[in-house]
Amino acid sequence: MRYLIFGSGAVGSYLGIRLALAGQSVSFLTRDRYIKDIRKQGYTISGDGPPQSLGQPVVYSDPEQALRTEKPDFILLTVKAYDVAKAARSLAAQLSHSQTVVSFLNGINNESVLAEQLGEDSILPATLTSAVQTSQPGVVRVERVRGIGLGGDHP
């Protein structure tokens, strides 16, 4: 399976690092101002075992380029609530019917905004219950491991 992490803050970085370290094909979408540092230093994670690194991540700052080049099976959407509408528009322009958007979003009404642009069948609501934080781009610290919840009504 191929994964695109759409939003590489604490939650997105955590999910992407864990998937990549488990052997999955993962690419990251981050803000343009962070991409140079992440490409240079990679990703690191600590706090839930020995520190681990992901040294040569595939990182993009352009959503259309990332989707077109990587052709992910799953897009893990981990942006802030104020970026949901913009992210939905970017996804709508490139999303195929075989791709699923796993929505790890905080806030109210985010899945409705996504459904208007992408259709309900493309969205799988999810939540990360582990506590994670980032001190700088690409550096993730796990404060408490709990788990992931996935919505049960996805086709």
Quick one: pLDDT at residue 153?
A: 67
Q: Provide CB contacts within 8 A for 82, sequence distance 6+.
A: none
Quick one: pLDDT at residue 109?
A: 85
H or E stretch covering 128: strand 123-128
H or E stretch covering 25: strand 25-29
Among the four given CATH numbers 3.30.420.340, 3.40.50.10240, 3.30.420.10, 3.40.50.720, the one describing domain 2-150:
3.40.50.720
Quick one: pLDDT at residue 154?
A: 60
Between the alpha carbon of residue 32 and those of residues 2, 7, 94, 97, 146, the distances in Å are: 22, 11, 20, 28, 31
Query: For the chain, what is the total number of helices (H) and then of strands (E)?
Result: 5, 11
Tokens of 128: 């990360």
Alpha helices, H only, 29-80? 32-41, 63-70
Percent share of the chain, pLDDT over 70:
98
| Tens digit of each residue's pLDDT (9 = 90 or more) over 26-57 | 999 999 999 999 999 999 999 999 999 999 99
Can you give the pTM of this predicted structure?
Answer: 0.94
H or E stretch covering 12: helix 10-21
Q: Domain coordinates of the chain in residue numbers?
A: 2-150
What is the spatial distance between Cα 95 and Cα 42, in angstroms, rounded to a whole number?
Answer: 27
Quick one: pLDDT at residue 96?
A: 85
